[in-house]
């Protein structure tokens, strides 16, 4: 089959039919770029020093969720895929929590914001 013929076909995979349009992908990318710009701008605002960590973490979560939901299609695909990924994230957070808890009980410096 020639390439010109192929390019005229519309491939329909039932599992991919619900994927967003290229325009939607571009819109998501614009939002991600704006959130990144806000992150960097906030880093230099001394008035927000006390709130810097929670704001940065919240913005990172927004970006993480948007890439996962739209670019990785977790919003549109089977929930089974989401469960696999979320399980990994929860286990990673458990490792983080357990290690930090052990570290704090030994009187180490705070891993977040100075120490």
Where do contacts with another protein occur on this chain (CB under 8 A)?
3, 5-16, 19, 21-22, 25-26, 28-29, 32-33, 36, 39-40, 43, 49, 52-53, 56-57, 59-60, 63-64, 67-68, 70-73, 78, 80-81, 84-85, 87-89, 91-93, 95-96, 99-100, 103, 108-115
- Smallest CA-to-CA distance from 43 within 55, 30, 33 is with 55
Q: How far is the CB of 47 from another protein (least distance, A)?
A: 14
Asked if 24 contacts 14 with a C-beta cutoff of 8 angstroms, the reply is no
Q: How far is the CB of 100 from another protein (least distance, A)?
A: 7
Q: How far is the CB of 39 from another protein (least distance, A)?
A: 6
Query: DSSP class of residue 72?
Result: S
Q: How far is the CB of 115 from another protein (least distance, A)?
A: 4
Q: How would you write 34-60 as a 3-class SS string?
A: HHHHHHHHHHCCHHHHHHHHHHHHHHH
Tell me whether residue 10 or residue 47 sits nearer to another protein (CB atom): 10
């Amino acid at each position: 089959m020639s390439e010109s013929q192929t390019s005229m076909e519309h491939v329909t995979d039932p599992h991919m039919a619900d994927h967003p349009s290229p325009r939607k992908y571009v819109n998501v990318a614009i939002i991600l770029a704006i959130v990144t710009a806000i992150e960097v701008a906030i880093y230099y605002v001394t008035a927000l020093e006390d709130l810097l960590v929670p704001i940065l973490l919240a913005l990172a979560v927004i970006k993480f969720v948007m890439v996962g939901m739209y670019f990785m299609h977790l919003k549109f695909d089977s929930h089974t895929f989401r469960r696999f990924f979320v399980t990994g994230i929860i286990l990673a957070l458990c490792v983080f929590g357990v290690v930090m808890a052990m570290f704090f009980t030994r009187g180490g410096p705070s891993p977040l914001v100075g120490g």
